[in-house]
Structures are given as structure tokens and as C-alpha cells.
């Protein structure tokens, strides 16, 4: 990542699953001036500093305790920052349904604070993490992320012609991340039975490393206003169960409030704005009032057909239980105090 040499990068939600993996990747593949991990969880900061990124080996890492709800704290953290990766969010569907005000404060007002602080601090680029649940949302989490996405796209106009550029990355379930189905199934298999919401359920699947690679590629490529969507495989919930606990008894418990049977990353209503590339899609902004220059996606890629949609049940690429088992094995947490030495592949494998 030559373009990051001697630059300062800040990750909001920097102590979460994505933040840690992103930090590892950046430290292994670029010569950063500074890397700022911004998170409200003091204990996670301490754990990272003691184990994964000790100060004697990684003096460029800064641990900034703060909340995206606090705009002033964000302003302090962003002094001298070149690039921001916004990964902080309240993301659990059921918790968001029960605590709607907290979800709105973090996911929407927090996004506004990141935008304002980035513009005022002279940040060059911001890329925001989104979710497949933001496409045609039926739960509050998805609705807040859709609102956040709209804010990040529209605020390019607020920043002006030569100001900070903003873009969004939208992808599906992260295999093995905190709170995801794989660690839950691993806990439940000891009881001899796996609770299944619906046997027909499908989901998009991406690994943490693939997600990080796609985010960094998108940040390098972005000109502002894009929503980047990777081409990733789907899987069935029953296949995940078979991969984690072969032959284990299952019990259907029903879909939880706010949950979909199948996920969508590009609804048909957005097909007229979608451009296809070999391993990703771009959803173009409806307008580009902040510049008169023609962006690259107007002359490259292939316009998607009218009515096209990208859904987990109609996907062309699928993961089988053996493939899932291999991915789960590869995604095991790196032991504390160590980092993988091999250079990660910088491409999504679908």
C-alpha cells in the first residue's frame, strides 16, 4: 500500500473485529506515520497495547479513547489525519430494536459527527462501513445504516470541490466475527443441539481479511460518492451448521424480530445506478454536485441491466460445508502477541 507511506490513518471502532484486522493489515503492508485506533472501550485498548500492538514494536500506533457521539473528541483525534475508516457502529439487530435511541445516536448522529470532524480537520478521504441490511431495510439497524450511507454520499457536496471525499462499502456477514453465527454455533454444539432460525435462510459471507482488503482497495479507488459492493459468495444457514457441527441435532426456532430470510446488497430499484466490474459493483450517486469532472465509473465497467438485483438467494457463487470449514479454520483468531507474517491477498475470492 505505497499510497499510505508516511500518512496518518484513523479507524473508528478500532478495537473491534474489523478494526484489529485492519490495523494488522495496515501495519504489515504500509509504512504509516501514525495509526490511530479510536474506540470507547478502554479495556480493549489496554489489551491491544499489551498483546497485539506493543509500543516497543509499534510506536506509530495511538490508542484514542472516545465515542463517535462526541464530535469534539473526534476533532481532537483527527488533527493531522489523512484518511479515516469509519467502522464504529451499534450493529446487533435485536439490541437495536430494543434500544432504538442508542442505535440512532451511534449510527446516525455518530456518522454526522465523523463527517463534520473530517471536513473541519482537513481529512483527505473517509470510507464508511455499511451492511447488506441497509438495502431495503426492515429493521432499525438497517434503517440507521441506510441513513448513514446517504449522509456520507451527500456530504461530498458539503465538503465542496476540493474538500474531503466520502464513500461507502457495503458487504454481508463477516465469518467468525464477534457476535456472528459461527462462534454462537460453536458454543451451542457442546449442548448437542443447534437452534436454527429458518432452514431456508441464506446469507452473503465474507472473511475479515477479505473485508479489510476490499475496504482498502475501495479507499484507494474512490473519488467520492460511491457505494462499493464486493462480489462474494452466499451460503445456507444449514450448511454453516453442518460445517461447524457435522451431524449435530438442529431445532427450528423461527426468525427473530427484524430479520430477513434472504439478504440483499443491491435492490432492483438501485439497478439503474449500478455498475459491474470483475469482482465488485459500484452504486453511483444520484447526483454529483460537488464536481463537474467525469468519474471513472462513467467510462469503465458495465452498467447493470434494468431490474437487476444482487441477493443472497439468487447469487451465482455458493459456499459448501467443506469450503466453509476450510474458511473457518483459516479465520481463527491470531494468538495474542503475534501477527501473521504472510502478505494477505488483496482480492475478494468469490
What averages of pLDDT result for each successive group of 10 residues across the chain (350 residues)?
A: 94 96 96 97 95 93 97 97 97 92 98 98 98 95 98 96 96 83 91 94 95 97 98 96 94 89 96 97 95 93 96 96 92 49 37
> What total of structural domains would you count in the chain?
1
Structure confidence at residue 180 (pLDDT): 82
Structure confidence at residue 178 (pLDDT): 74
Q: What is the end-to-end Cα distance of the chain in Å, rounded?
A: 23
Q: Which residue among the candidates 133, 145, 231, 260 is catalytic per the annotation?
A: 133
Assigned domain for 194 exists: no
pTM beyond cutoff 0.85:
yes
Structure confidence at residue 341 (pLDDT): 37
Structure confidence at residue 346 (pLDDT): 34
Structure confidence at residue 340 (pLDDT): 43
What's the rounded Cα separation, in Å, for the pair 298 and 282?
Answer: 11
CATH label of the domain that carries residue 274 = 3.40.50.720
Q: Which domain holds residue 219?
A: 2-172+206-230+265-310
Assigned domain for 68 exists: yes
Q: Which residues contact 45 (CB under 8 A, 6 or more apart)?
A: 15, 37, 39, 63, 65
Between the CA of residue 32 and those of 280, 295, 339, what are the distances in Å?
Answer: 27, 28, 17
Assigned domain for 327 exists: no
Assigned domain for 320 exists: no
Assigned domain for 285 exists: yes
Structure confidence at residue 96 (pLDDT): 94
Please provide residue 349's backbone torsions phi and psi, each rounded to the nearest 5 degrees.
-105, 110
Structure confidence at residue 6 (pLDDT): 97
Structure confidence at residue 19 (pLDDT): 96
Q: Is 33 a residue of the active site? A: no
Assigned domain for 130 exists: yes
Dig out the grid coordinates for 94 from the structure: 435485536
Structure confidence at residue 87 (pLDDT): 97
Assigned domain for 102 exists: yes
Assigned domain for 325 exists: no
- What sign for the dihedral angle of Cα 17, 21, 22, 27? positive
Structure confidence at residue 349 (pLDDT): 37
Amino acid at each position: 500500500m505505497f499510497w499510505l507511506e508516511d500518512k496518518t490513518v484513523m479507524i473508528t471502532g478500532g478495537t473491534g473485529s474489523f478494526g484489529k484486522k485492519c490495523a494488522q493489515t495496515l501495519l504489515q503492508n504500509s509504512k504509516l506515520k501514525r495509526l490511530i485506533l479510536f474506540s470507547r472501550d478502554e479495556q480493549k485498548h489496554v489489551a491491544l497495547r499489551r498483546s497485539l500492538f506493543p509500543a516497543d514494536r509499534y510506536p506509530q500506533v495511538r490508542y484514542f479513547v472516545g465515542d463517535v457521539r462526541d464530535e469534539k473528541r473526534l476533532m481532537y483525534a483527527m488533527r493531522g489525519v489523512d484518511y479515516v475508516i469509519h467502522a464504529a457502529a451499534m450493529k446487533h439487530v435485536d439490541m437495536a430494536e430494543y434500544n432504538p435511541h442508542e442505535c440512532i445516536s451511534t449510527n446516525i448522529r455518530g456518522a454526522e459527527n465523523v463527517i463534520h470532524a473530517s471536513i473541519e480537520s482537513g481529512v483527505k478521504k473517509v470510507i464508511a462501513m455499511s451492511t447488506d441490511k441497509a438495502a431495503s431495510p426492515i429493521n432499525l439497524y438497517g434503517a440507521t445504516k441506510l441513513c448513514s450511507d446517504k449522509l456520507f454520499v451527500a456530504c461530498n457536496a458539503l465538503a465542496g470541490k476540493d474538500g474531503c471525499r466520502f464513500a461507502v462499502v457495503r458487504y454481508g456477514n463477516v465469518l467468525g466475527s464477534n457476535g456472528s453465527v459461527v462462534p454462537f454455533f460453536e458454543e451451542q454444539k457442546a449442548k448437542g443441539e443447534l437452534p436454527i432460525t429458518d432452514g431456508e435462510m441464506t446469507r452473503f459471507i465474507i472473511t475479515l481479511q477479505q473485508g479489510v482488503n476490499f475496504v482498502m482497495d475501495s479507499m484507494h479507488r474512490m473519488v467520492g460518492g460511491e457505494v462499493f459492493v464486493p462480489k462474494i459468495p452466499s451460503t445456507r444457514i444449514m450448511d454453516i451448521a453442518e460445517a461447524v457441527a457435522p451431524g449435530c441435532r438442529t431445532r427450528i426456532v423461527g426468525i427473530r424480530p427484524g430479520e430477513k430470510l434472504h439478504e440483499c446488497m443491491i435492490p432492483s430499484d438501485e439497478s439503474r445506478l449500478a455498475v459491474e466490474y470483475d469482482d465488485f459493483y459500484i452504486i453511483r450517486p444520484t447526483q454529483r454536485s460537488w464536481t463537474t469532472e467525469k468519474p471513472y465509473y462513467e467510462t469503465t465497467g458495465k452498467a447493470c441491466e434494468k431490474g437487476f438485483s444482487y441477493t443472497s438467494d439468487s447469487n451465482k457463487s455458493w459456499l459448501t460445508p467443506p469450503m466453509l470449514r476450510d474458511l473457518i479454520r483459516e479465520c481463527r483468531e491470531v494468538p495474542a502477541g503475534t501477527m501473521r507474517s504472510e502478505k494477505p491477498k488483496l482480492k475478494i475470492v468469490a
